[in-house]
Amino acid sequence: MIGKPIHAWVASAGTGGTLMGVYTAIKNYTKNVELHLVMPAELPYGSEQPPNDLKKYAGSGGFGLGRKQHFIEQEENLIEKQWTYSYEDTLYEMARFYKDTGIKIGTSAAANLLAAKQIGKEKGANFNVVTVFPDAGSIEEWSDVKNLVENRE
């Protein structure tokens, strides 16, 4: 644990196992923790849109046509808020984080970070937000980051 109370748990969801499993574990230590779901803007959780082939950040996303991940649907009433970020948003955050820290994160980690930062900004400095960085990004994602940054300059 972080040695301080956890006020919010934030994570992207593929199956929803990490989102809900970690939330359940945190609830063993602190009862008043907010649950925040992060999903790709291109196809969020519970979306009525049909599945699409738009690029989305890795490892996450809704199924489309209103279908929902089983692990999340069972307890979706616990979700404080669903945050959505586009693939491009996450690429920019990957680049920013790498520039600032020298550490590579992937698109789902970048989405988690964007949501965690926004929650922290809204709730204040004494509100402790915990998230996860599940990967360092794929070769394709880092190639897209490079192209995005070069085209911006």
CATH fold for the domain made of 8-152: Rossmann fold (3.40.50)
Sequence spans of domains, the chain: 8-152
Gap between the Cα atoms of 101 and 103, Å rounded? 5
CA separation, residue 29 to residues 9, 24, 65 (Å): 13, 9, 37
pLDDT at position 58: 78
pLDDT at position 63: 77
pTM: 0.91
Q: What is the pLDDT along the chain (153 residues), one digit of tens a residue?
A: 467 899 999 999 988 899 999 999 999 988 899 999 999 998 877 777 777 787 877 777 777 667 787 788 899 999 999 999 999 999 999 999 999 999 999 999 999 999 999 999 999 999 999 999 999 999 999 999 999 988 876
